[in-house]
């Protein structure tokens, strides 16, 4: 009859996560108390849900990360014979567990999210061969003769 559930939620006001244990009878909440130590998996899942709600702009998109994303978008368009990862907003949000979660160890706040290296997370979508192909076909820099 009495159900207990643990939830981790994003607190916009403080830019951090809050964990709660709720006791409910049906839809009626009888008791809510803060959880002292939620698991890292619960925290990370709440953060990924928060990113999905707020959008990719909460991440640290450096010029280098944005350039890599643009190069991958161009590669998919100009070199369709290769299996490039989809890096449009919708695809990245749908696959956060694949490309971002492995880099989130120890991250529990918005400040922590902002410290993640998105460039390296995106590079992780490519195996070594695809990284080499991207760098050769669509280099980040090109030196022209003078």
21 and 6 Cβ atoms separated by less than 8 Å: yes
How far is Cα 144 from Cα 73, in angstroms, rounded to an integer? 24
21 and 38 Cβ atoms separated by less than 8 Å: no
For residue 75, give both structure tokens. Answer: 């590669």
- Quick one: pLDDT at residue 38? 81
- In 3D space, the residue among 134, 116, 122 whose CA is nearest the CA of residue 58 turns out to be 116
**Each residue's pLDDT tens digit, 77-98:** 999 999 999 999 999 999 999 9
All residues at 6 or more sequence positions from 129 whose CB lies less than 8 Å from its CB, including other chains: none
What mean pLDDT comes out for the span 32-58? Answer: 88
What separation in angstroms does the CA of 30 have from each of 1, 27, 34, 37, 72?
12, 9, 14, 21, 51
**Each residue's pLDDT tens digit, 107-145:** 887 788 889 999 999 999 999 999 999 999 999 988 888
Residue 146 pLDDT class (50, 70, 90 cuts): confident
How far is Cα 126 from Cα 116, in angstroms, rounded to an integer? 18
- Quick one: pLDDT at residue 118? 98
Q: Does residue 34 register a pLDDT over 80?
A: yes
Q: Rounded to 5 degrees, what angle do the CA atoms 134, 137, 141 make? A: 85
Domain ranges (residues) in the chain: 39-137
Q: By percentage, how much of the chain surpasses pLDDT 90?
A: 57
Residue with tokens 């290769």: 82
- Quick one: pLDDT at residue 55? 94
Query: Which pTM does this prediction carry?
Result: 0.82
What separation in angstroms does the CA of 119 have from each of 6, 13, 16, 76?
34, 28, 23, 18
């Amino acid at each position: 009859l009495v159900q207990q559930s643990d939830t981790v939620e994003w607190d916009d006001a403080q830019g951090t996560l809050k964990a709660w244990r709720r006791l409910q009878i049906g839809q009626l909440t009888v008791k809510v108390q803060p959880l002292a130590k939620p698991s890292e998996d619960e925290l990370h899942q709440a953060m990924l849900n928060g990113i999905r709600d707020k959008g990719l702009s909460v991440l640290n998109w450096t010029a280098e990360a944005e350039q890599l994303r643009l190069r991958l978008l161009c590669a998919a368009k100009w070199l369709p014979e290769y299996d490039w990862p989809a890096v449009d907003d919708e695809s990245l949000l749908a696959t956060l567990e694949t490309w971002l979660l492995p880099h989130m160890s120890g991250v529990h706040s918005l400040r922590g999210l902002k410290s993640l290296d998105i460039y390296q997370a995106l590079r992780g979508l490519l195996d070594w061969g695809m990284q080499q192909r991207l760098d050769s076909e669509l280099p980040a820099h090109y030196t022209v003769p003078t």
